[in-house]
Amino acid sequence: MASALAGQHALVSGGGRGIGRAIASALHLAGARVSIIGRNGTMLQQVLDAGEADRAASVDVTDEAAMARTLAELSAEQPFDIVVANAGAVETAPFRKSDAALFRRMVEINLVGTVNSFRPALPAMLERGSGRLIAIASTAGHRGYPYVSAYVAAKHAVIGLVRSLALETARSGITVNAVCPGYTDTDMVAGSIAAITGKTGATAQDALAQLVKDNPQGRLITPEEVAASVLNLCRPESRGITGQSLLINGGEF
């Protein structure tokens, strides 16, 4: 794998923690030059200090102009061969309390953030005739969950984007795919557990059991498992895989 990614330049959004950091580290270990972006400069610096990425920049993925400038700066010496749009967020609320503003926030961070990660990198990929665009979506892009209708809608949209863009680029040498983990052992899920315990009085153990009840393996997915799937999609041998959304969820349907 190291020889497969040697000399390639990868961008990972939301690369300062959780799944994004695991992906950045895996790509770096596989020989890629890795640039990471995110809103928390302190966390990004920690990844650099740990030797898990090469460059970092603080930027809000929902800001189209700022993203265009930042990605241009990071790719000035070498265009991106791989872009992993990982940045995302979730807010919980019953639908009757989910106003249009909540839906807009979920669409902005999860869908528009993906668009703003892909679009600046695409022209150079088209010119070279190669590239990997990978969105970190969610099991929520394939099925519904109660109390997160806005998040589910946004993740369904991400998968729709992937399928459409894959058809546009099918003969270009570029592949476009989504990786869709179930509940993963990250700070985001820890926040969901805290929210459940705060609202219901349940114990953390009971809250965790509630989150993994639909996973036949009865556990959280690890960030490293998601990173391994991203690595596989980056391999030259995976050039025939495009427009797909790979579920990593222990068999949940």
| pLDDT tens figures, 132-155 | 999 999 999 999 999 999 999 999
Give the E-state strand segments of 124-226 in sequence order. 131-136, 174-181
Instruction: Tell me which of 192 and 174 has the higher pLDDT.
Output: 174
Contacts (Cβ under 8 Å, ≥6 apart) of 107: 150, 153, 154, 157
Q: How many other C-beta atoms are found inside a 10 Å radius of the C-beta of residue 173?
A: 13
Contact 176, 246 (CB under 8 A): no
- Percent of the chain surpassing pLDDT 70: 99
Name the average pLDDT for the chain.
95
Q: Which of 145, 147, 151, 183 is catalytic?
A: 151
- Percent of the chain surpassing pLDDT 90: 85
pLDDT band at 196 (very low <50, low <70, confident <90, very high): confident
Structure tokens at 22: 């695991």
**pLDDT at residue number 1:** 43
Query: What mean pLDDT do residues 17-29 have?
Result: 98
Query: What mean pLDDT do residues 11-38 have?
Result: 98
The answer on pLDDT for 108 being more than 70 is: yes
Among the listed residues 161, 150, 172, 157, the one whose alpha carbon sits nearest the alpha carbon of residue 243: 161
Strands 55-58, 33-38: pairing kind: parallel
Measure the CA–CA gap between 24 and 20, rounded to whole angstroms: 6
pLDDT band at 63 (very low <50, low <70, confident <90, very high): very high
Contact 13, 37 (CB under 8 A): yes
**Position of tokens 């009865």?**
218
Helix-helix angle 41-49:18-29, to 10 degrees: 30
pLDDT band at 188 (very low <50, low <70, confident <90, very high): confident
**pLDDT at residue number 7:** 95
Query: What mean pLDDT do residues 122-137 have?
Result: 98
> Looking at residue 77, what DSSP letter applies?
S
Query: What mean pLDDT do residues 21-48 have?
Result: 98
pLDDT band at 2 (very low <50, low <70, confident <90, very high): very low
Contact 47, 20 (CB under 8 A): no
- What predicted TM-score, i.e. pTM, was given to this entire model? 0.94
**pLDDT at residue number 193:** 85
Measure the CA–CA gap between 141 and 161, rounded to whole angstroms: 11
Q: How many other C-beta atoms are found inside a 10 Å radius of the C-beta of residue 141?
A: 23
Measure the CA–CA gap between 117 and 112, rounded to whole angstroms: 9
**pLDDT at residue number 99:** 98
> Looking at residue 221, what DSSP letter applies?
B
Q: Which stretch of 20-29, 142-151, 189-198 has the lowest confidence by average pLDDT?
A: 189-198
The answer on pLDDT for 93 being more than 90 is: yes
H/E stretch holding 131: strand 131-136
**pLDDT at residue number 3:** 67
The answer on pLDDT for 67 being more than 60 is: yes
Measure the CA–CA gap between 154 and 159, rounded to whole angstroms: 9
**pLDDT at residue number 40:** 97
> Looking at residue 170, what DSSP letter applies?
T
Contact 75, 124 (CB under 8 A): yes
* Known catalytic residue at 151: yes
Contact 252, 216 (CB under 8 A): yes
Query: Rounded to the nearest 5°, which phi and psi values hold at 94?
Result: -65, 155
